[in-house]
A and B are shown apart, each in its own frame.
Chain A
Amino acid sequence: MAVIRGKQLDLTKVRPYGDSINDGALQLSFTLPIPLTPEAVEAARQMAQKLGLRDPSVVHSQDLGGFSFFIVYGHTDRSVDMTQIQVPKVEGKVFSRPEADQEIRRRFGRLLVVVGACIGTDAHTVGIDAIMNMKGYKGHYGLERYVMIDARNLGAQVPPEALLDYAIKHRADAMLVSQVVTEKGFHRQNLSRMVELVEASGIRDHMILICGGPRIEHKLALELGYDAGFGRGTYAEHVASFIIDKMTERGLT
């Protein structure tokens, strides 16, 4: 257990750290839909108090022309138990590109077909391109660059039905689904629809199904029925490695 300035850090009771251990310091900002008055400042203070902040102090306020904006500091006495937290993660070794090609040769002895698209009305291609296109992202080459992967990126605004048809036609080993627009739960609807279609088509057992996007977490992906979900900071090698391992685990050849 870590010791900080003579005080023991209790992992069952972790609190935010501002200036000293367990001070529970927090900063927050928000607007209230009321004009700025001394009463509005007090309302902001009470708001923070009701959020559980001890000694909240409104350090800044601005009239927004009808509404009011506040920056508030305070302390919390609440804590979290780190020892009880478990987050599902994509685990396993990450192969470099040459390693991945070698593993595919060794384990499957054939090209793996990977199809991908950003589905629905979502027009954001940069994320799926980063994973799939030759050029890759931040110096990490994309799947098209892999000798043993036949990567087919259908781009954005692809209807789920079209992606499925394509996957069936080309006997895809893995399907990559991107969703960037998340406003009003847009992505959940689209992602669920995709899973439903894949399941109804009877190819779910033979195909690794992966989703990704800046607001996608692995946990959400599992809940929706995907094999994995990848968020910010993902590169092609993470995805390739996962596909290889998952196919082996499932006994796919």
Chain B
Amino acid sequence: MHLGLDPGKIRHAREIARAITEPILIKILAHTTDSVERATLRLMGLDGADEDDIPYPNILVRHLRDRLGEGLAPLVAQAAKDRGLSLRELAYGVSEEKIDLRDFQPADRDAAGAECERLLRENIRRVERQVAARDGFVRELGQGEPPWLYVIVATGNIYEDVVQAQMAARQGADIIAVIRSTAQSLLDYVPEGITTTGFGGTYATQANFRVMREALDEVSREVGRYIRLVNYASGLCMPEIAAMGALERLDMMLNDSMYGILFRDINPLRTFIDQHLSRMISAYARIIINTGEDNYLTTADAVEAAHTVLASDLINERFAHEAGLPADLMGLGHAFEVYPEMTDSYLYELAQALLIREVFPDHPIKFMPPTKHMTGDIFRGYALNAMFNFTGVLTGQSIQLLGMLTEAMHTPFLMDRALAINNARLMFNAARHLAENLEIKPHSWLLQRSAEVLDRAITMLERIAEIGLFQAIADGMFADIKRPPEGGKGGDGVVLKSADYANPLLKILTEKVHGRH
């Protein structure tokens, strides 16, 4: 089932997306942030927290606040070496106010850079081992056939999550996402250790990542299929969580270039800078990113705003490309959110699903289920989810985020998830080869609609290119939400790089990623 959209138009759309991201990229490269520096320290091997549970990377970044523009990693590496301390011991000393690095100058800046690079390379080897381990699992056990069944767990207790995740895998799930606790995205630090309480989700911590990864490896062997793990590299700690995910072999990360700005009121520039490094790390670790365009349709209308999803997918694609991510790691998002009671609502859904598939043929696109129009009528919801699953297999979506019949009430109960998996397996199996037998009628409404959405996306992109992405966001062009460039949380963590800014991580990631592709 092919729409046969004009390839020239699609190419043109991509060119405008490039023109939109170019000026932003210049800003990205000129700045660093709290979180970029903390992520670098983490990849040098620094973790742990002090007695007040303040993570050591935060302690060092706070301590050296005024020197962020120089790049902290080489300073810290050299200071530890000079004292014969580990990074953690150094951070402990700072937190106890026994060590003061504010005026510290390395005797030889090049040597400091080299020491920093040594630490980074040592740690990054672990990321490489994780990539090899994933490849090994997939080779040995195989993996599910797309659309991959993606479900969430969100109990707040990582051990409870493990039970539910393993069970979901046995039922047929391919991907497990651990939803984060409410408002973790607004924490300007990553909590430490294993956690057993959370609201609406479970805290993303490196220790929790490890617990879940082990559990999924175990169940992967049991079911004979590699089970992927997802978390959220988003919010104020985007690059740090990407770093932790890389170290602990997460396979996918929710990671959007604008979601935090629009839906969490995080400072725009901060978000752009942070997403760039987080994607460089993900490219290195072969982590698939998932973008969040589906959310636009919760605040804006799915019919009226269909083109904003495509426009944003193209912008996300370009940003991802700039960070070194290849198409096969770009899980661009879209959703099934048309008001179902409208006559022919399904045609709109089908047109959109085909459109996104065709514009992004090599991308593991992520298809989101109905959420906004789900109600307490779980039986209606189950029917909607069946339509959604049917569409997923018919249009060849890659990552199918399974809808829950209880979406309007609570985070999924065990049985909700099991029913969702039953629904998807039934539909996927029943219609597995249907598309091969069908063709879209020329001049049909489906074709017209998808071409119209593409045209509107191009018009929107042209407008954005004209006024600039910051202004477009301020004007509410995405999701009907307006965010001024100077507003939002975390803006004070953005710092202009000085002329001698040093961060060997950027070099390591760039050479590796570009060397590989």
Chain A interfacial positions (CB closer than 8 Å to B): 29-31, 62, 64-67, 69, 121-123, 125-126, 129, 155, 157, 181, 183-184, 186, 214, 232
Q: A183 near B414 (CB under 8 angstroms)? A: no
Q: Do A181 and B182 have beta carbons less than 8 Å apart? A: yes
Enumerate chain A residues within 8 angstroms of B182, measured Cβ to Cβ: 121-122, 181, 183, 186
Between A and B, 28 residue pairs with Cβ closer than 8 Å are A29-B415, A30-B415, A31-B413, A31-B418, A62-B418, A62-B422, A64-B167, A64-B170, A64-B171, A64-B414, A65-B166, A65-B167, A65-B168, A65-B169, A66-B167, A66-B170, A67-B414, A69-B418, A121-B182, A121-B186, A126-B298, A157-B186, A157-B264, A181-B199, A181-B200, A183-B199, A183-B200, A186-B182
Among A122, A155, A183, A186, the one with the most B-chain Cβ atoms within 10 Å of its Cβ is: A183
With a cutoff of 8 Å between Cβ atoms, the chain B residues found around residue A30 in the complex are 415
CB distance from A112 to the nearest CB of B (A): 25
Which single member of B166, B263, B265, B414 contacts A31 (CB below 8 Å)? B414
Cross-chain contact B199 with A65 (CB below 8 angstroms): no
Q: Are B411 and A64 in contact (CB under 8 A)?
A: no
| B163 CB within 8 Å of chain A | yes
B410 contacts chain A at the CB level, 8 A cutoff: yes
* B467 on interface, CB distance cutoff 8 Å: no
| Contact present for B299 and A64 (CB under 8 Å) | no
| Residue contact B264 to A65, C-beta cutoff 8 Å | no
Query: Is the CB–CB distance between A183 and B411 below 8 Å?
Result: yes
- Judge whether A66 and B200 touch: CB under 8 Å: no
Q: Let me know if B207 is at the binding interface, CB within 8 A.
A: no
Q: How far is the CB of B66 from chain A (nearest CB, A)?
A: 29
Q: Complex formed: what's the CA distance from A65 to B413 in Å?
A: 15
Question: Contact at B408–A214, with CB atoms within 8 Å?
Answer: yes
- A126–B264 Cα distance when bound, in Å, is 14
Q: Which one of B166, B199, B408 contacts A66 once the chains associate, using CB atoms below 8 Å?
A: B166
User: Do A31 and B183 form a contact, CB below 8 Å, given A67-B167, A125-B299, A186-B199?
Assistant: no
Contact with A along B113-151 (1 / 0, CB 8 A): 000000000000000000000000000000000000000
Known contacts A65-B171, A66-B170, A69-B415; is A183 also within 8 Å of B410 by CB? Answer: yes
- Chain B 152-172, CB-CB to A under 8 Å as 1, else 0, gives 000010000001001111110
**Would you give the shortest CB distance from A52 to chain B, in whole angstroms?**
21
CB distance from A150 to the nearest CB of B (A): 20
Residues of B within 8 A of A125 (CB): 299
Which residues of chain B are near A67, meaning CB under 8 Å?
A: 167, 414
- Is A126 within 8 A of B299, CB to CB? yes
Cβ A123 vs Cβ B264 within 8 A: yes
Let me know if A184 and B199 touch, CB within 8 A.
Answer: yes
Q: A31-B413, A157-B264, A232-B376 are in contact. List 15 more A-B contacts (CB 8 A).
A: A31-B415, A64-B415, A65-B168, A65-B171, A66-B166, A67-B414, A121-B183, A121-B186, A123-B263, A125-B299, A129-B299, A157-B186, A183-B182, A184-B156, A186-B182
A164 to B291, CA, bound (A): 36
Cα distance A229–B171 in the bound complex, in angstroms: 41
**Chain A residues whose C-beta falls within 8 Å of the C-beta of B414 in the assembled complex:** 31, 64, 67
Residues of chain A within 8 A (CB-CB) of B167 are 64-67
Question: Closest CB of chain B to A16's CB: distance in Å?
Answer: 16
Contacts of A183 in B (CB 8 A): 182, 199-200, 410-411
Rounded to whole Å, the gap between the CB of B182 and the closest CB of chain A is 6
Nearest 4 CB-CB pairings of A with B: A65-B170, A121-B183, A65-B167, A183-B200
Instruction: Give CA–CA (A126, B170) in the complex, Å.
Output: 37
Name the CB-closest residue of B to A71.
B415
Which of B171, B376, B415 gathers the greatest number of chain A CB atoms within 10 Å? B415
Q: How far is the CA of A139 from the CA of B419 in the complex (A)?
A: 34
Least CB distance from B417 to A in Å reads: 9
Closest CB-CB distance, B351 to chain A, in whole Å?
24
CB distance from A128 to the nearest CB of B (A): 12
Most chain A CB within a 10 A radius of its CB, from B166, B265, B418: B418
Instruction: Give every chain B residue within 8 A of A155 (Cβ-Cβ).
Output: 265
CA distance A184 to B199 in the complex (A): 7
Q: In whole angstroms, what is the CA distance A214 to B372 when docked?
A: 12
Q: Which of B291-328 contact A (CB under 8 A)?
A: 298-299
- Give the chain A neighbours of B199 by CB distance below 8 A: 181, 183-184, 186
- Taking CB atoms, residues of chain A closer than 8 Å to B408 are 214
Find the B residue at minimum CB distance from A184. B199
- The interface residues of chain A lying within 8 Å CB-to-CB of B168 are 65
CA distance A155 to B265 in the complex (A): 10
Please give the distance in Å from B450's CB to the nearest CB on chain A: 26
Give A125 to B414 CA distance when docked, in angstroms: 28
Q: Which residues of B contact A122 (CB under 8 A)?
A: 182
Whole-angstrom CA separation of A214 from B415 in the bound complex:
23
B165 to chain A, nearest CB (A): 11
Residues from chain A with a CB closer than 8 A to the CB of B186 are 121, 157
Query: Using an 8 Å CB-CB cutoff, how does the interface string of B410-432 with A read, 1 for contact, 0 for none?
Result: 11011100100010000000000
Closest to A69 in B: B415
Separation in Å of the A166 CB from the closest CB of chain B? Answer: 16
Closest to A215 in B: B409
8 A Cβ contacts from B164-202 to A? 166-171, 182-183, 186, 199-200
Q: Which residues of A contact B415 (CB under 8 A)?
A: 29-31, 64, 69
